[in-house]
């Protein structure tokens, strides 16, 4: 496991770290505008590795 403690607003913080299997972002929503908070789930999903496709297929077949 790699933990990066960095400024989330600095794009250089993500160099070499994405795509990630797990992304934990703490304290973000209290520091951004309401409009950015609404867009946050879509934007932050681009940081993670797309590895859950098999779970989506299993759920669809159930």
- Check residue 51 and give its pLDDT: 59
48 in a domain, yes or no? yes
13 in a domain, yes or no? no
11 in a domain, yes or no? no
Residues 48-62 have a mean pLDDT of 55
28 in a domain, yes or no? yes
Average pLDDT, the chain: 75
Q: How many domains does the chain have?
A: 1
CB count within 10 Å of CB 13 equals 13
The model's confidence at residue 59, banded by pLDDT at 50, 70 and 90, is very low
6 in a domain, yes or no? no
53 in a domain, yes or no? yes
pLDDT tens, residue by residue, 29-44? 888 888 888 887 887 7
12 in a domain, yes or no? no
Whole-model pTM? 0.49
8 in a domain, yes or no? no
pLDDT tens, residue by residue, 6-17? 887 787 888 888
Q: Sort 50 into a burial class: Cβ within 10 Å, 0-12 / 13-18 / 19+.
A: exposed
Structural domain of 40: 19-61
């Amino acid at each position: 496991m790699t933990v990066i403690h960095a400024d989330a607003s600095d794009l250089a913080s993500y160099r070499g770290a994405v795509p990630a299997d797990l992304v934990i972002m703490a304290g973000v929503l209290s520091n951004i505008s309401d409009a950015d908070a609404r867009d946050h789930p879509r934007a932050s999903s681009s940081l993670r590795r797309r590895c859950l496709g098999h779970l989506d297929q299993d759920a669809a077949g159930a």
